[in-house]
Amino acid sequence: MRSTVVLTLCCVLSAAVVRADTFEELATRAAAALDAEKLPEALDLYRQALQVKPNWEEGWWFVGIISYNTQQYAEGERAYAKLVEINPRSGPGWAFMGLCEFETGAYENSLQHIERGLSLSGGGPQDAQQVLRFHEAMLLTRERKWDPARRVYRTFAQKGVQDPALIAGIGVNALELPMLPSEVPPDRQELVLTAGNAALCWMTGDKAKTDAAFSVLLNRFPAGTGVHYLYATYLLSSNQTEAGTAELKRELELHPDNPSADGTLALVLAVADKVSEALPYARKAAATPQPDARMLYVYGLVLDKTGDMQQAIDRLEASEKLDADNPDVHIVLAGAYSKVGRDGDARRERRAAISLARGNAHP
């Protein structure tokens, strides 16, 4: 009996030594194949090593990155899912899982995981961070989160990045099309690129180039969806209120179902204390099937001016949940809370607005 137990124990220990040696050998050969850029061989060796040591974080990383670089996105997605199961704090793991999900069409998961990766690691090296931020902006646009996406695109423009893919992404966002650049129909691609060039020039702050780019856009696409709305926002940003208002009305004549044009016109009228005129535009703008942070903000602002405070607060709080990085929402919400005696909430919102203003001052 005792000899049998000893023999069994020896067999177990011997197997453990063999498995350890086998793993080290496989890991060494996999690394050598990767260094030699023999990617199929490296991938196979990393898979074998992971069969021996399933919780090897580095191994899952290399399976994922090789799969991503060889366009085997589904396998890359599975590898990174395993990696973040082992190490939930792996920012690169979450981020690259999101990139793989983008390629497999799991867009909602992709955005969540890219943003989680960025929050954990800051995106890593500059090249990787730019790739992640660009995908984030495209996905935010696809989900109709126009302003958060625009803030990301603006950082690229301010760094002087010039790239056709970036211009296409900015164009989709500028015209507020809820799609990826790759989903733009062929007959609208020139419109998107022309709008993207105008918006990019605007973001860089070059007025002469921006004016020229908008002239080209309006001449080529005088009836294009979103064109007059985009030009109106540019005019309004330079305090050309009368001309901007005319462009908003022109947009609504051509495309009555443009909620952004309705909302922006409502905001212009509200600022001019034409609240009764603003209200129907604001109401219509906010009545979209998918909640829009900006339109809810405008409706809340107009309701605040009418004195309907509870309805105003409801809309402003809903806007804040969708886009907490908009300082204007916090400012107006602080004022609304003050009017109903919620002083603690008002102070919180003012602090949030100040914090965002300070952050925006140092892009």
Chain segment 45-94, per-residue pLDDT in tens: 999 999 999 999 999 999 999 999 999 999 999 999 999 999 999 999 99
DSSP per residue over 75-109, as a string? HHHHHHHHHHHH-TT-HHHHHHHHHHHHHHT-HHH
| pLDDT for residue 234 is more than 60 | yes
Confidence of residue 121 (pLDDT cuts 50, 70, 90): confident
Confidence of residue 20 (pLDDT cuts 50, 70, 90): very low
What token pair was written down for 82? 């395993």
- Rounded to the nearest integer, the mean pLDDT of the chain is 91
Query: Is 209 domain-assigned?
Result: no
pTM of model > 0.75: yes
Report the pLDDT value the prediction gives residue 124, as an integer from 0 to 100.
65
Read off the pLDDT of residues 142-183 as tens digits, 9 standing for 90 and up: 999 999 999 999 999 999 888 999 999 999 999 999 999 999
Q: How far apart are CA 77 and CA 101, in angstroms?
A: 6
User: Which range among 10-14, 151-155, 202-206, 302-306 shows the weakest confidence by mean pLDDT?
Assistant: 10-14
More confident residue, 5 or 108: 108
Query: Is 28 domain-assigned?
Result: yes
| pLDDT for residue 240 is more than 70 | yes
Domain that holds residue 75: 21-124
Mean pLDDT value of segment 208-215: 97
Read off the pLDDT of residues 247-303 as tens digits, 9 standing for 90 and up: 999 999 999 999 999 999 999 999 999 999 999 999 999 998 888 999 999 999 999
| pLDDT for residue 213 is more than 80 | yes
CA distances from 190 to 211, 226, 266 (A): 19, 14, 30
Report the pLDDT value the prediction gives residue 2, as an integer from 0 to 100.
36
User: Which range among 35-49, 116-130, 327-341 shows the weakest confidence by mean pLDDT?
Assistant: 116-130
SS3 228: helix
User: Which range among 10-19, 128-137, 208-217, 276-285 shows the weakest confidence by mean pLDDT?
Assistant: 10-19
Helices and strands in the chain: count of H runs, count of E runs: 19, 0
Query: Is 278 domain-assigned?
Result: no
Query: Is 334 domain-assigned?
Result: yes
Query: Is 333 domain-assigned?
Result: yes
Report the pLDDT value the prediction gives residue 11, as an integer from 0 to 100.
36
Q: How far apart are CA 70 and CA 67, in angstroms?
A: 5
DSSP structural state of residue 33 = H
Report the pLDDT value the prediction gives residue 125, as an integer from 0 to 100.
74
Mean pLDDT value of segment 232-252: 97
* Residue keyed to tokens 């949940």: 321
The CB density around residue 83, as the number of other CB atoms within 10 Å, is 25
Mean pLDDT value of segment 99-118: 97
Report the pLDDT value the prediction gives residue 310, as an integer from 0 to 100.
96
**Which of 72, 92, 124 finishes a domain?**
124
**Which of 105, 124, 143 finishes a domain?**
124
Query: Is 130 domain-assigned?
Result: no
Q: How far apart are CA 87 and CA 65, in angstroms?
A: 16
Report the pLDDT value the prediction gives residue 122, as an integer from 0 to 100.
65
Asked whether the beta carbons of 18 and 42 are under 8 A apart, the reply is: no
What token pair was written down for 314? 């409801």
Q: What is the tally of structural domains in the chain?
A: 2
More confident residue, 64 or 2: 64
Mean pLDDT value of segment 333-359: 94
| pLDDT for residue 205 is more than 50 | yes
The CATH number linked to 334 is 1.25.40.10
| pLDDT for residue 357 is more than 90 | no
Asked whether the beta carbons of 353 and 316 are under 8 A apart, the reply is: no
Q: How far apart are CA 304 and CA 311, in angstroms?
A: 8
Closest to 91 measured CA to CA, from 102, 80, 101: 80
User: Which range among 20-29, 196-205, 237-246 shows the weakest confidence by mean pLDDT?
Assistant: 20-29
Report the pLDDT value the prediction gives residue 123, as an integer from 0 to 100.
55
**Which of 104, 124, 144 finishes a domain?**
124
Contacts of 269 (CB under 8 A, 6+ apart): 275, 277, 278, 281
Which amino acid, one-letter code, is at 84?
Answer: V
Query: Is 308 domain-assigned?
Result: yes
Cα–chain center distance at 177: 14
Mean pLDDT value of segment 336-360: 92
| pLDDT for residue 5 is more than 90 | no
Cα radius of gyration (the chain):
27
Asked whether the beta carbons of 298 and 324 are under 8 A apart, the reply is: no
| pLDDT for residue 362 is more than 80 | no
Query: Is 186 domain-assigned?
Result: no
| pLDDT for residue 217 is more than 60 | yes
